[in-house]
Chain A
Amino acid sequence: MILYDYPPLAECYAVRLLAALLDVPLEIRSLDYYPGREHETDEYLDIAPLGSVPALDTGTAVLGDWQAALIHLAAHHDATGQWLPLGDPDRLVAIHEWLAVARALAHSAGVARLHELIGQPAVIERCRTEAHRLLRHLERHLWFGERAGRRWLVEGEQPTIADIAVFVQVILCEEGGVSRLDYPAVRRWIDSVRGIRGFVVTSGVLPLDPTAPVHTLA
């Protein structure tokens, strides 16, 4: 599978992270997204009509939506079925609900980060306010979850693609001026995700144990 990638984007990291956790090799095609705007070129739009980054070429289709890429990887390359429990409608619904939260975080915390990082236009204070509102929602959910013995976003012993999608947005949010200081349960959950076997970092993300060898996907 070919991943059209721009390493600083949280959504690209999500696809690289899940692929690493599933031990699925990806052929990385690095795009000059910024400042080259390669994703706006006719050549790229021919490959990925949405002009979105990342895009995952599965061999049969090009998925221009990062969450579709996560679903594809989990549905086809996870023998355990833990990341996307297709046979469990209630959990599937809950996963979709959290994927929507991840998208809302991308449009708030993520936009704030890209504003700070590469000057992408944004109404920065509105983005940050919205990001904090979502983080409070996440904090409440995780805090009550801890009391109910639930460690991940969705009921069950194992993490799902919901954890990956929300994690990549939350772990990079401080670069956009959105502090995680007031969200202790979120910070504990972040450590749980970083503790998943096979976890890989990206620039700006540190491993759980700083003395452990770092696996970077670049």
Chain B
Amino acid sequence: MDPILWNDWHVVADATALQCDRPITTRLLGVPLTVSRDAQGAVHVVGTDGSPIVSDVRHGFVWACLGKPARPILSIAELAEPDRCVTTAGSFGVHVSAGRVIENFLDLGHLGHVHAGYLGQEPQTAVEPYEVARLPDGGVHASGCKVFQPVSSPTAQSGFVVEYQYKVERALTASLYKSSFSQPDRFDVIYLFAQPLDEEHAIAHVLEIFIDDGVSPAALRAFQQFIFLQDKPILENQIPKRLPIGQRMEMPVLADKTSVAYRRWLAELGVTYGTVGAHDGGLPA
């Protein structure tokens, strides 16, 4: 088993939606789990034999680690800002590897095609040059991306040029920072936690941390779900369903600079679960 993902924390349920009388059965890296909340409100994650799994509740989600956590659950600075509207936006299953879900989230190139009229528009789908660098603790940081978005968020009253940043701090966690419509010098933040059910199935858990300009959590959820459901069929039609890394990495189009950096980083980390080509030797060029 892939030691990187085995010893990492993964979101396995939306804690805000977990009710006492409705335990959730799910899987993590192929291992069946039950997530439940007892009458005292405490959350438990157990395997099929009832044995407890290392777990925690953080940022509105239930987290689990099948091995020994190599690092703590990541911290999210924006959650401490008082003027934020914070909501989990639902947990959606997709028939594709978790890495593919993260990669799609990072791909600026698809906005004008898949989310035309909202997060981009045709024919202006070309992506302006932007920077991709490594985060100090490892991971990928893309910054300086600029996209014209006709409807960037549920409260946007008009289109504007939105600045984007992406961070990939953990193998299957990505965050997106985009200029807020009401305060363009600050960022609305969206975290995506991809739970690997198995090598070709994932659940996309989303956390939204928006500047509170009167937007309701329900409106944030509805908008995010509408956008995600546009991605879903595109994601599920990808071949192969696992993320190609290593020498067999597909030739990505120019716009997918962040995606190349993401795949290269996974290959360096030694992530193999849910990928293809990792054992073909060498890192991607």
Contact = CB atoms under 8 A, between A and B. Distances in A.
Nearest to B14: A35
A119 B221 contact: no
A7 B95 contact: no
Contact of B221 (A32, A115, A117, A203): A32
Nearest to A113: B93
Given A36-B218, A38-B218, A175-B232, A8 B225 contact: yes
B233 A35 contact: no
B222 interface: yes
Contacts of B26: 119
Given A8-B225, A30-B222, A35-B17, A118 B233 contact: no
Contacts of B88: 35
B90 interface: yes
Interface in A52-82: none
A87 interface: no
Interface in A20-34: 30, 32, 34
Nearest to A177: B95
Contacts, number: 57
Nearest to B90: A35
Given A203-B226, A218-B226, A35 B221 contact: yes
A1 interface: no
A218 B118 CA distance: 11
B6 interface: no
B229 interface: yes
Interface in B6-48: 14, 16-17, 24, 26
B179 interface: no
B95 A32 contact: no
A32 B230 CA distance: 18
A118 B90 contact: yes
B233 A117 contact: no
Contacts of B89: 35
B26 to A, nearest CB: 7
B221 A204 contact: no
Interface residues of B, number: 26
Contact of A118 (B92, B117, B230): B92
B91 interface: yes
A100 interface: no
Interface in A98-134: 115-119
A58 B16 CA distance: 35
Interface string A162-190: 00000000000001010000000000000
B91 A8 contact: no
A204 B229 contact: yes
A86 interface: no
Contacts of B91: 35, 118-119
A94 interface: no
B95 A119 contact: no
Contacts of A216: 117
Interface in B77-125: 88-93, 95, 116-117
A45 interface: no
B232 A34 contact: no
Contacts of B217: 32, 36
A204 B93 contact: no
A6 to B, nearest CB: 9
A211 to B, nearest CB: 11
A80 to B, nearest CB: 31
Given A35-B14, A117-B92, 4 more contacts: A7-B222, A8-B229, A34-B225, A35-B89
10 pairs of A and B residues whose beta carbons are closest in the complex: A203-B229, A32-B218, A35-B17, A116-B93, A35-B90, A30-B222, A204-B233, A203-B230, A218-B226, A117-B93
26 contacts: A7-B222, A7-B226, A8-B229, A30-B222, A32-B217, A32-B218, A32-B221, A32-B222, A34-B225, A35-B14, A35-B16, A36-B218, A36-B221, A38-B218, A115-B93, A118-B92, A118-B93, A119-B26, A119-B93, A119-B203, A175-B232, A203-B229, A204-B229, A204-B232, A214-B116, A216-B117
Interface of A: 7-8, 30, 32, 34-36, 38, 115-119, 175, 177, 203-204, 206, 214, 216, 218
